[in-house]
Structure 1
Amino acid sequence: MNEVSVAIISDTHGYIDPRIIDIIRDCDYAIHAGDICGEDVLASMQPKSAIVIAVAGNNEPRCMVDFPLPESSELALPGGKICIEHGHEHGHHTPCHTSLRGRHPDARVIVYGHTHKMVQDKSAMPWVINPGAAGQTRTHGGPSCLVLTANDREWDVREYRFDSLTGN
């Protein structure tokens, strides 16, 4: 059975925690769900396949003017696909999962960022997940990410959270 792993991050705001960089290197693919704020962040994301999928966050126009990113993207995996967007268009403080599911009904998983809060909503299909913040800004307990493993039948999401290096 062919199994793949995907590192999922968001909201780096110009800095990615080095422990999360290590997790990305162990995965087949990497996703950044926006508010990247620096091409060096994307350059540091080096999954095994070298495939990094990134979408624009609401802060990109102010910090990455010369680096265009799509508002949404997709990644096809064994057993389904992941749809990615930043999430800020579905509610500012708490994006509406019903709205996200309505926009991406054919996804198996929807990834969003924006809130800097880790979420796994598996109450309905597609799942809606948020990796939290992988940098230093508003990490709500420390930098975090998710790793999705997928094969033709089963998908699983594992959470990673680290102590803050800066005390934020």
Structure 2
Amino acid sequence: MRIIILADTHGFLDPRVAEAAAGAELLVHAGDVGASIADQLAALGDELIIVAGNNDPEEAPWPNAAIRELPGGQLAVMHGHQWPAKTRHRKLRERFAEAQAVVCGHSHRRVVESETVPWLLNPGAAGRSRAYGGPGYIELIATPTDWQVEAVAFEPRRRR
């Protein structure tokens, strides 16, 4: 199963990320979505999971956290703003201890920690707001016996 993981679009989805996400079986957005992004993402893949971030409106229709069964384990998703940076990864791993991987956003910094289960995956920003290292995403291929992750980042766009 091909899963595209992204976060922190803040109302702008980099077109290169959108192109790479097209045709995914599952798209996961870890919060701070912004206007019209949910509709854009829904058109790109078969299924879409979004969790709310601290910059999403309180009336946004998305939950604060989600768990999705995948081939080979559970994927948990939470924006991560609920805890300070110093304890965030530990708290996410504790909260979702049964998961194979936990996806978060908020920091806009790309992280792939796969040495400890649950893995911790932060795709960085998929838009233009604080896209440290360039806008990007994480691709996860999940099979019943193996999970493969690849972090992808594009060159930052020049400001005009």
TM-score range (shorter-chain normalised) is over 0.9
After superposition, the CA RMSD in angstroms is: 1.6
- Of 25, 48, 51, the residue aligned with 1:52 is 48
In 1, distance between residues paired with 2:115 and 2:146?
A: 16
Number of residue pairs aligned between Structure 1 and Structure 2: 159
Contact 1:90 1:99 in 2 (8 A): yes
- Of 10, 14, 17, the residue aligned with 2:11 is 14
- Of 76, 79, 82, the residue aligned with 1:83 is 76
What aligned pairs does 1:67-146 form with structure 2 within 5 A after superposition? 67-91=60-84, 93-94=85-86, 96-146=88-138
Is there any run of 5+ residues in structure 2 with no aligned partner, and where?
Answer: none
Partner SS, residue 82 of structure 2: helix
- Of 31, 39, 42, the residue aligned with 2:38 is 42
Counterpart of 1:81, as a letter, is Q
Indicate how the Cα distance of structure 1 residues 94 and 116 shifts in structure 2: closer, same or farther if over 3 A, else same.
farther
Partner SS, residue 94 of structure 2: helix
Partner SS, residue 19 of structure 1: helix
In 1, distance between residues paired with 2:44 and 2:3?
A: 8
Contact 2:52 2:60 in 1 (8 A): no
Partner SS, residue 90 of structure 2: helix
- CA offset at residue 90 of structure 1? 2.3
Is there any run of 5+ residues in structure 1 with no aligned partner, and where?
Answer: none
- Of 150, 155, 160, the residue aligned with 1:163 is 155
In 2, distance between residues paired with 1:21 and 1:47?
A: 7
In 2, distance between residues paired with 1:13 and 1:47?
A: 18
Report percent identity of matched pairs. Answer: 35
Runs of 4+ with >6 A deviation: none
In 1, distance between residues paired with 2:109 and 2:86?
A: 10
In 2, distance between residues paired with 1:5 and 1:114?
A: 23
Contact 1:132 1:144 in 2 (8 A): yes
Partner SS, residue 56 of structure 1: coil
Q: Which residue of 1 aligns with 2:20?
A: 23
- CA offset at residue 66 of structure 1? 4.5
Partner SS, residue 52 of structure 2: coil
In 1, distance between residues paired with 2:17 and 2:136?
A: 8
What aligned pairs does 1:56-67 form with structure 2 within 5 A after superposition? 56-61=52-57, 66-67=59-60
- CA offset at residue 123 of structure 1? 2.6
